[in-house]
Amino acid sequence: MRGKKMKGKWVRIFNTRHNGKEALIVSDELPNGKFKVLLVNGRQTSTSPDNLMLLSDKIYTLDEWKELQHIKKASTMSEKSLRSKIIRLAHSKPELRKDLLPLLTNKKAYKDPCNGTSYYGDSYDEAMEGLEECHDERINERKVEKAWDLLQDLSDQDGFEFADGLYEAADSQNLNSAETEFLKWHYDNA
């Protein structure tokens, strides 16, 4: 990067203070060999060219770059909003979870052998037997209980999201589809 015209280039910074942050180079090379950069948060700093990774060859004006950052931020905010709405819907409509949760986790939904019917039963034993029959899989109660303990711990944390917690807990014990459904039953009936 040394000796090249860098003012207006979009970069990512890799150093201990601003690691991974995006910035716009707002000066030509300074006498000390560094560049002044404008961070997304509006702060200016200077950094060595060794700490910069070029994200685009295009030269941006300050206004163009700010508009680009605004669009990226709006896109991220709308994705977060959509994600929150899907999680709330999955929590309020358990029968839709098999279709909604894969949207959040990028996992394929398993085929529901019960076609969304209410097969849980009213009690712990009925729910377990119904799920085993429906999924044609055995439920290992010890694995489900360990996953349940983790799910409870996760639900106590700030920013808990049910779908993420459910799949983290299920993955931690390598639960099959019947066991995962039984874990959901635990959560819904706790």
Cβ neighbours of 86 (radius 10 Å): 17
Mean pLDDT estimate for the chain: 77
Residue type present at position 96: L
Confirm if 50 and 35 have CB atoms less than 8 A apart: no
Classify residue 4: in a domain, yes or no. no
Global pTM? 0.42
Output the six-digit token pair for 153: 């711990």
Q: How far apart are the first and last CA of the chain?
A: 59
Phi, psi of 33 (to 5 degrees): 85, 0
Q: 110 and 48, same structural domain?
A: no
* pLDDT per position as a tens digit, 73-127: 665 556 667 777 777 787 788 787 777 766 665 444 444 556 555 455 667 888 8
Q: 88 and 113, same structural domain?
A: yes
Cα separation of 66 and 54, whole Å?
A: 17
Q: 88 and 179, same structural domain?
A: yes
Task: Calculate the CA dihedral of residues 169, 173, 179, 185 and round it to 10 degrees.
Answer: -30
Output the six-digit token pair for 71: 């669009």
Write out the chain's pLDDT in tens, 190 residues: 555 678 888 888 877 677 778 888 888 888 888 888 888 777 888 888 888 877 777 777 777 777 777 766 665 556 667 777 777 787 788 787 777 766 665 444 444 556 555 455 667 888 888 888 877 889 999 999 999 999 888 888 888 787 788 888 888 999 988 888 888 887 777 6
Output the six-digit token pair for 164: 């993420």
Q: 175 and 87, same structural domain?
A: yes
**Any idea what the CATH number is for the domain that residue 49 is in?**
2.30.30
Residue 159 sits at the vertex; the CA angle it makes with 170 and 145, to the nearest 5 degrees, is 25
Q: 86 and 111, same structural domain?
A: yes
Classify residue 182: in a domain, yes or no. yes
Q: 94 and 170, same structural domain?
A: yes
Q: 88 and 54, same structural domain?
A: no
Q: 172 and 105, same structural domain?
A: yes
Looking at residue 108, its pLDDT comes to 40
Classify residue 109: in a domain, yes or no. yes
Domain range for 17: 10-60
Residue 107's nearest CA partner among 180, 176, 184, 167 is 167
Looking at residue 4, its pLDDT comes to 66
For the chain, how many structural domains are there in total? 2
Q: 180 and 88, same structural domain?
A: yes
Classify residue 1: in a domain, yes or no. no
Looking at residue 2, its pLDDT comes to 57
Confirm if 103 and 174 have CB atoms less than 8 A apart: no
Classify residue 5: in a domain, yes or no. no
Q: 171 and 114, same structural domain?
A: yes
Confirm if 99 and 109 have CB atoms less than 8 A apart: yes
Q: 88 and 21, same structural domain?
A: no
Output the six-digit token pair for 50: 């060794």
Looking at residue 144, its pLDDT comes to 92
